[in-house]
Amino acid sequence: MDVESLKQEAGIAACAYIKDGMNVGLGTGSTVKYTILELGRRIEKEGLQIVGVPTSLATEKLAISVGIPLVELDSLDHLDVVVDGTDEFDPDFNLIKGGGAALLREKIVAQASTQMVVVADARKQVERLGAFPLPIEVTCFSWQTTQRSIEAVLGCSTARRMNGEEPVLTDNGNFIVDARTGPTIQNPAETERELLAIAGVVQVGLFIGMCNVVILAKDDGVEVLSKEE
């Protein structure tokens, strides 16, 4: 199967973790898109009853278009599960996220969820995090000062993410600085702590100890990896 077909299979497989009556975090990305489409189908065809909390404006738009009822996270006391994508995951199920510039909202939703199910293709499975540039959301105010502090902490080059000639703005109105660490992040939790200590850093695209299950799209089909195993 081609990559897109594998993504679709993985995205649909994630729906097995979603039952009637659940409060569901809806992630962002090209694989989670298929989860959202399948949930919309199940709501229409099978009478599935859920409410969703989107992690980005793009996800909100897609969820509305397929008929998923949405609510504000603040109106709920918990989320049962969030289904989201990832840019990398390591053997301890630590993640790098933020390739879609939604890392702050994704992390807020993930922290509020009892379970995090990640959908990914085999290219995202790594032995050590960092080959994918680490996304860091920063305030626009004095962002270059923040950028220099990030480079001093990580010892690597960084770049403000651009869309053509314009800087990428997150849904929260902030910039993204991508850090080119290479696959060198041996202690993701410590790296996260050091970066969050920088005043201009809003959030870091390291998701530590949040993911429980990875639904992995591989050339020979879909494999379910569980942290409990």
Q: From the first residue on, what is the mean pLDDT of each consecutive set of 10 residues in the chain (229 residues)? A: 86 96 95 96 97 97 98 97 97 97 97 97 94 98 98 98 97 98 97 98 98 92 83
Q: Are residues 94 and 145 in the same domain?
A: no
Strands 81-84 and 23-26: parallel
Cβ-Cβ contacts under 8 Å for 189 (sequence gap 6 or more): 206, 208, 209
Q: Within 13 Å, how many C-alpha atoms sit on residue 71's CB side?
A: 13
Check if the beta carbon of residue 224 is closer than 8 Å to that of residue 13. Answer: yes
Spatial distance between the Cα atoms of 34 and 32, rounded to a whole number of angstroms: 5
Q: Are residues 71 and 143 in the same domain?
A: no
Q: The domain spanning residue 157 has which CATH number?
A: 3.30.70.260
Check if the beta carbon of residue 204 is closer than 8 Å to that of residue 192. Answer: yes
Could you give phi then psi for residue 67, rounded to 5 degrees? 85, 20
Strands of the chain (E only): list them. 23-26, 51-54, 81-84, 88-89, 95-96, 116-121, 134-138, 158-160, 162-163, 166-167, 175-179, 201-204, 206-207, 213-218, 221-226
Q: Are residues 200 and 212 in the same domain?
A: no
Predicted pLDDT of residue 4: 87
Q: Are residues 71 and 162 in the same domain?
A: no
Spatial distance between the Cα atoms of 172 and 165, rounded to a whole number of angstroms: 20
Spatial distance between the Cα atoms of 185 and 176, rounded to a whole number of angstroms: 19
Predicted pLDDT of residue 194: 98
Q: State the CB neighbour count (10 A cutoff) for residue 28.
A: 28
Q: Are residues 139 and 171 in the same domain?
A: yes
Domain enclosing residue 26, as ranges? 3-124+208-219
Q: The domain spanning residue 68 has which CATH number?
A: 3.40.50.1360
Predicted pLDDT of residue 1: 65
Check if the beta carbon of residue 69 is closer than 8 Å to that of residue 50. Answer: yes
β-pair partners for 134? 179
Domain count, the chain: 2
Question: Does residue 228 sit within a domain?
Answer: no
Predicted pLDDT of residue 228: 66
Instruction: Provide the token pair at 129.
Output: 């995090």
Given the residues 106, 165, 166, 228, the one annotated as active site: 106
Tell me, yes or no, if 106 is annotated catalytic: yes
Check if the beta carbon of residue 37 is closer than 8 Å to that of residue 65. Answer: no
